[in-house]
Amino acid sequence: MAEVLDQSEVDALLAAVDTGGLAEQADTASRSPGAVEVRTYDFKRPERVSKDQMRAMEALHEGFARNFGASLSAFLRTIVDVRVATAEQLTYSEFIHSLPTPTCFHVLEAPPLEGQLCLEISPLIIYPIIDRLLGGSNAEIFIPERPLTDIEWRLVKRITDRALANLTEVWANLVQVEFQLKDTESNPHLVQNVAPNEVVVVVGFELKAGARTGTMSLCIPFNVIEPVMSKLATQSWLAYRRAGATTDHMNRISNSLEMSAVRMRALLGQTAICVRELMALRPGDIIKTAKPASSELVIQVEGKNKFAGRLGRHKGKRAILITRHARPNERI
């Protein structure tokens, strides 16, 4: 027979409920060493990319954001700030339903990787960019809710080409690929690259040009990056790749600057004369300076003091023998 509680036990039980004693006991029991931890798992949103790999993907595209922002700033002749806002795992259906309609939607390929990626740019920033390219001021531009025209798509392609070039450059640290534009669409719901419940990695960017702010999203299906996921698994990859990319970047800049032409000149001295004396100068006249004839000459590169040297001859031509580095404020 089941045990029957007497009145005192019932009163004690009700008092424990009022004071929260039962909840504390339940928490204590759940924290006991023998308790089994149970977590809810959503089969509709499986996490196929680890947190370390997501951090690596975010760090990879932070480099893309910096390069893309610099490229846009030079192209539009205005400061454009691009930064990584989010990096998360979603299903393809959730990603598509989060986008506005119409929008600026691009289907990308990255051979030799199989599959297709998506690049979406918000109308809130793409129309101000188009207005800037057409000579507008972006001051009070109206954002229309309509698909882009053929002329507007041609202008947007100049932006997309720069984004694809920067993506190719940054992804070279991970795998040698070449991002290419395959198709464009105004309604993202008409594009079905993968199954609706397929896991995708979505990297969200924030673009700011003056007072205008918009978003850009890069959708990478898991089946596209699955062959290279092992390269994102180690934390050492990040430090190694960052150092390698920096060294390679410096070497490319140095190689580009080596053949640049610069203006170099040696200054004999300086003095001050009046206009009457200047007009009266004739061949054979002597101009006196405060600088001794035995002192070194200052050699300037692009108008800045660089070296000091002595005047002489070499193979029948006037020459300067460099003796030391000149001080920035050294008197000519």
How far is the C-alpha of 54 from the C-alpha of 275, rounded, in Å? 72
* Chain segment 283-294, per-residue pLDDT in tens: 988 888 878 877
Q: Is 74 helix (H, G, I), strand (E, B) or coil?
A: helix
Query: Is pLDDT of 247 > 80?
Result: no
- Determine how many CB atoms are found less than 10 A away from the CB of residue 199: 18
Q: What is the pLDDT of residue 231?
A: 76
* Chain segment 70-121, per-residue pLDDT in tens: 999 989 888 889 999 999 998 899 999 999 889 999 999 999 888 899 999 9
H or E element that contains 267: strand 264-267
Q: What is the pLDDT of residue 180?
A: 92
Written as one string, the DSSP assignment of 119-182 is EEE-HHHHHHHHHHHTT---SS----SSPPPHHHHHHHHHHHHHHHHHHHHHHTTT-----EEE
Q: Are 94 and 200 in contact (CB under 8 A)?
A: no
* H and E: helices and strands count for the chain: 9, 10
- Within this chain, do residues 67 and 202 fall inside the same structural domain, yes or no? yes
How far is the C-alpha of 54 from the C-alpha of 59, rounded, in Å? 9
**Neighbouring-strand partners of residue 328:** none
User: 277 in a domain, yes or no?
Assistant: no
User: 319 in a domain, yes or no?
Assistant: yes
Residues belonging to the chain: 332
Domain that holds residue 204: 51-256
Best-predicted range by mean pLDDT among 14-23, 38-47, 187-196? 187-196
- Within this chain, do residues 154 and 113 fall inside the same structural domain, yes or no? yes
Instruction: Indicate which CATH number applies to the domain containing 60.
Output: 3.40.1550.10
pTM (predicted TM-score): 0.59
Query: Is pLDDT of 3 > 70?
Result: no
Cα–Cα distance list, 219 to 62, 122, 144, 196, 237 (Å):
15, 14, 25, 13, 23
Is residue 209 classed exposed, middle or buried when 0-12, 13-18 and 19+ CB atoms within 10 A define those classes? buried
Query: Last residue of a domain, which of 256, 286, 306?
Result: 256
User: 6 in a domain, yes or no?
Assistant: no
Q: What is the pLDDT of residue 239?
A: 47
At a CB cut-off of 8 Å and minimum separation 6, what does 332 contact?
Answer: 267, 269, 270, 291, 298
- Within this chain, do residues 129 and 238 fall inside the same structural domain, yes or no? yes
- Determine how many CB atoms are found less than 10 A away from the CB of residue 314: 9
User: 279 in a domain, yes or no?
Assistant: no
- Within this chain, do residues 223 and 330 fall inside the same structural domain, yes or no? no
- Within this chain, do residues 194 and 332 fall inside the same structural domain, yes or no? no
How far is the C-alpha of 73 from the C-alpha of 208, rounded, in Å? 11
- Within this chain, do residues 136 and 172 fall inside the same structural domain, yes or no? yes
User: 9 in a domain, yes or no?
Assistant: no
Stretch 193-197: mean pLDDT: 85
Query: Is pLDDT of 246 > 70?
Result: no
Q: What is the pLDDT of residue 138?
A: 62
Provide the terminal-to-terminal Cα distance of the chain, rounded to the nearest Å.
Answer: 113
Best-predicted range by mean pLDDT among 112-121, 186-195, 234-243? 112-121
H or E element that contains 241: helix 236-258
